[in-house]
Structure 1
Amino acid sequence: MASNRPAPEAPYGSIDSFNSSGIPDAASVNGPFEEWNPTEETVRPVRGRHRVAKQRGGLARSSTVLGVGVIAAVGAGGMATAQDKPAVSISLPDAITDSLPDAESLPGIGSLMGDDSDGESGDSGTDSGPLTAASLTGAQETEAAGQQSGADAGEALRARILQQAEQQQATADAEAKAAAEAAAAEQAAAQAKAQQTAAEKEAAAQAAEEKAKAEAEAAAKAKAAEEARLAELAASWSLPTSSYTITSTYGQAGNMWSSGYHTGLDLAAPTGTPAKAVHSGTVKSAGWSGSYGYRIVLELEDGTEVWYCHLSSMTVGAGQKVGTGETIGRVGATGNVTGPHLHLEVHTAGGGGIDPLAWLRDKGLTV
């Protein structure tokens, strides 16, 4: 069985001084300098390719402590990082590796090594190489490959997520652009509709104005034509008398008339005022007519009869043709009267009486 006896410790005293970096001086740690030589009892035989650490002076313990710390750090770091990172080859300077002790001679480490026969045999398949290099095992290589595959899968997932984000952003941009174009089209349509409505209103107003203007012009023309007609007609018609005052109108009610209402138009004028033919026609009768006094009946071309009553004298006889404005008698007060006046009646060809005032005005005469 391999021995796990620790290497002899160099004598050291208490720590009395520190250097400028805050590290204890070697003399304080190791005590007074004293040369020490290994003996057969302290030097273990070389097994395999392990080499005995050369302990030089007071640096022996420091080298031992440093070697243990490096091995522990390398082991702990390897176990800590092997789970998530690929193994990395680690190298130490020869100045440090030369001072490292045999791993089996370290407390708590030798038990992990094999026995003497295992260490003596070079055919065990385990070549104990120097601590200056570390190689990747198959499991580590597999794990590294898995980590690389996982990294590739993660990168692919990241690329796919970025692609989806870009597609979503492109879709959002396209939708925003479409919405903006739709809003612009809607606004343009609204403006066009507003302009069309305004144009239609303006056209309607212009049409109404033109229509009103045309109607006004037509009305003016009609009025002018009517005035011309009345003027022409008035030239062929005449008032029945002059210097008169209207005292009674057609249809006026009262007990002064036997029928209960007035059947003609009374034009009061001084006795002897000329009575004229309102239009050309034929004297149908001329003579005494009871309550009408002296009366002349003038028949016009359309059969209308005009009666001149209460005359003081007559200058025409029955069957005589007269012209417009010709004097046919004189105003008087004969018959049933209260004073001198011309009682004028108008009868249609059928014999019915009509309003003389309206009839005269219809002929363009101002009564």
Structure 2
Amino acid sequence: MASNKPAPEAPSRFHGDNGDYGTGYGTGYGAGHTGEFAPDFRSDTDNGEAERGWSEWNPTEETVRPVRGRHRVAKQRTGLARSSTVLGVGVIAAVGAGGMATAQGKPPVSISVPDAITENLPDAKSLPGVGSLFSDGSEADKAEAAATAPLTTAGITTAEAEQGTTDAGEALRARILQQAEQQQDAAAAEAKAAEEKAAAEQAAAEAKKQQDAAEAKAAAEKKKAEEAAKKKAEAVRLAKLAASYSLPTFSYTITSTYGQAGSMWSSGHHTGLDFAAPTGTPIKAVHSGTITSAGLAGSYGYRTVLKLEDGTEVWFCHQSSIGVSVGQKVTTGEVIGRVGATGNVTGPHLHLEVHTADGSGIDPMSWFRSKGLTP
């Protein structure tokens, strides 16, 4: 490591080994004459070198003459340190300007080191990581090792070195361009992926819309078909019922309906359905069943009650005559009596009532329609 060096001795004719130093200083300088210490003098101890003017000595001045002997080594090493600093600054400047400078074309620099220092230095080949930089071969091998030193390939990757790249600046520029291309490719790929995703989403939405429309259409068609099938089944059922049920008479006129209000009825409203027809018009059984009542029933006149298999009762009232008896089983369309005007009436007609199994009265018109018949 560099340190402050001792100031070199200025030229003088006085030396400590001849005993003249104290005398000369006392006689020459104290007397004030210009004999030995005059501003201008010629040294007779420096082998006849040129005359020098007297001035204050500055150890940092570049004008200090190098002296012979060991002190020349210090001067040389100081100059080498300054040269190394300049070289380092140059490398940094080269990196900032656009890439790391290369030194492959420069010849190796020879540095002289005093023998006293060289003898005490360790063998460079024995140092870890340093011995591989030296070669025992020819001058060509040494030149090649110097040309391939780490400084010459600074900033160059192993892959680039294998490809023959030697200029660090060009290698950096190539890497920057490659990175820019990769970024452009990545941006293009991302944009393409976004477009493909948007197209896929739009296609999926359109497909879903079409699928929903198709499903809605299929559902509507299915519902329509189900309704048609249901209607057809109901028609078949009603046809079968119509075959098993029958209206109570023919050549009639509906004069009063169920629930009609009026003072003529004791309950305040009509409880059945009136079929007006001439006296003696045949009355038929509306369905197969059993006769549970047959005879005079007050304001109903002559009444016949037919109980069906499901417990429903059908009342036939105001008959002029009864043609069946209690307990008799009858079939659909069989004559069970005749139209008349017995009981509380204003003219000949058949008053027909329908009661459910629990005894509640219902509208005979709706009941006939549920069986496929329209009075």
TM-score w.r.t. structure 2 length?
0.53
Kindly indicate whether residue 211 of structure 2 is the aligned counterpart of residue 219 of structure 1: no
SS class of match (2:299): helix
Deviation of residue 241 (structure 1)?
1.4
Query: Which of 224, 236, 257 is the matching residue for 2:244?
Result: 236
1:310 is aligned to 318
Q: What RMSD, in angstroms, separates the aligned Cα atoms of the two structures?
A: 3.1
Higher RCO structure, 1 or 2 (CA under 8 Å, sep 6+): 1
Paired letter, 1:320: Q
Residue deviations 1:236-289 (CA, integer Å, cap 9, x gap): 110111222222222222222101111111122233222110011222222222
1:279 is aligned to 287
Deviation of residue 232 (structure 1)?
0.9
Aligned-partner Cα distance in 1 for 2:173–2:224 = 75
Paired letter, 1:325: G
Residue deviations 1:17-43 (CA, integer Å, cap 9, x gap): xxxxxxxxxxxxxxxxxxxxxxxxxxx
Kindly indicate whether residue 366 of structure 2 is the aligned counterpart of residue 358 of structure 1: yes
SS class of match (1:366): coil
- Which runs of structure 2 are paired with 1:288-327 in the superposition (5 Å)? 288-327=296-335
Moved runs in structure 1, 4+ residues, more than 3 A? Answer: 152-170
Contact 2:279 2:340 (C-alpha < 8 Å) held by counterparts = yes
Deviation of residue 162 (structure 1)?
6.2
1:177 is aligned to 185
2:57 is aligned to none
- Which runs of structure 2 are paired with 1:336-355 in the superposition (5 Å)? 336-355=344-363
Aligned-partner Cα distance in 2 for 1:223–1:261 = 35
Aligned-partner Cα distance in 2 for 1:296–1:225 = 34
Residue deviations 1:74-109 (CA, integer Å, cap 9, x gap): xxxxxxxxxxxxxxxxxxxxxxxxxxxxxxxxxxxx
2:76 is aligned to none
Aligned-partner Cα distance in 2 for 1:155–1:318 = 132
SS class of match (2:293): strand
Deviation of residue 202 (structure 1)?
1.9
2:274 is aligned to 266
SS class of match (1:185): helix
- Which runs of structure 2 are paired with 1:163-202 in the superposition (5 Å)? 164=172, 166-202=174-210
Aligned-partner Cα distance in 2 for 1:342–1:223 = 33
2:130 is aligned to none
Deviation of residue 159 (structure 1)?
5.9
**How many residues were matched structurally?**
224
Structure 2 unaligned blocks of 5 or more: 1-86, 101-168
Deviation of residue 235 (structure 1)?
0.6
Deviation of residue 306 (structure 1)?
0.9
2:27 is aligned to none
Contact 2:286 2:333 (C-alpha < 8 Å) held by counterparts = yes
Aligned-partner Cα distance in 2 for 1:171–1:183 = 18
Aligned-partner Cα distance in 2 for 1:207–1:304 = 46
Paired letter, 2:353: E
Paired letter, 1:215: K
1:144 is aligned to none
1:334 is aligned to 342
1:123 is aligned to none
Paired letter, 2:211: A
Aligned-partner Cα distance in 2 for 1:271–1:166 = 122
TM-score w.r.t. structure 1 length?
0.54
SS class of match (1:260): coil
Aligned-partner Cα distance in 2 for 1:176–1:272 = 108
Contact 2:258 2:271 (C-alpha < 8 Å) held by counterparts = yes
Aligned-partner Cα distance in 1 for 2:94–2:324 = 137
Aligned-partner Cα distance in 1 for 2:262–2:171 = 113
Paired letter, 1:250: Y
